């Protein structure tokens, strides 16, 4: 998947997260968890865009680490909404699956970048 395609995918995840938060019941717990989810969920794509503009491989790995953290946190808050009985799993299962897939892509990208960094250190002529 190209960086442009992944930018679109993370942006779609953010927009779907916004719609989810807007549809939550007007209960205090839903609003508090929703605010946390909104903050984490809307930073996934923004931080990925920042990673695409990284100035070095180390900077890329660091910024992608933030994408990983925010995606994982988004999934946590979605789980909390379900576990607290504030929304049914069936309503957000697809969004959670998409978040898990995004997280898997991000982790794989970080691991690949780390491997390339280590091989460049061992073989400076090939870097």
Q: For residue 28, what are the contacts with CB-CB under 8 A and spacing of at least 6?
A: none
Instruction: Calculate what percentage of the chain has a pLDDT beyond 90.
Output: 89
pLDDT value of residue 122: 58
Q: Check if the beta carbon of residue 74 is closer than 8 Å to that of residue 37.
A: yes
pLDDT value of residue 117: 76
Query: What's the CA angle centered on 81, arms 78 and 87, to 5 degrees?
Result: 110
Domains recognised in the chain with CATH numbers: 3-122 (1.20.1440.60)
Secondary element (H or E) of residue 25: none
Mean pLDDT score of the chain: 94
User: pLDDT by residue (tens digit) across 78-104?
Assistant: 999 999 999 999 999 999 999 999 999
User: pLDDT by residue (tens digit) across 29-55?
Assistant: 999 999 999 999 999 999 999 999 999
Q: In the numeric block, which tokens belong to residue 126?
A: 């090939």
H helix count then E strand count, the chain: 5, 0
The HSE-up count of residue 123 (CA atoms within 13 Å, CB side) is 5
- Predicted TM-score (pTM) of this structure: 0.90
Furthest C-alpha separation in the chain = 60
């Amino acid at each position: 998947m190209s960086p442009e395609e992944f930018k679109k995918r993370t942006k779609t995840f953010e927009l779907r997260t916004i719609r989810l938060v807007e549809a939550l019941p007007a209960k205090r717990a839903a609003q508090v968890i929703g605010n946390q989810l909104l903050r984490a969920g809307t930073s996934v794509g923004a931080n990925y865009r920042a990673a695409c503009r990284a100035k070095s491989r180390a900077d890329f790995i660091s910024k992608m680490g933030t994408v990983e953290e925010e995606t994982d946190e988004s999934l946590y808050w979605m789980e909390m909404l379900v576990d607290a009985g504030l929304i049914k799993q069936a309503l957000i299962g697809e969004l959670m699956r998409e978040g898990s897939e995004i997280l898997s892509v991000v982790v794989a990208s970080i691991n690949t970048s780390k491997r390339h960094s280590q091989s460049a250190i061992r073989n400076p002529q090939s870097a």
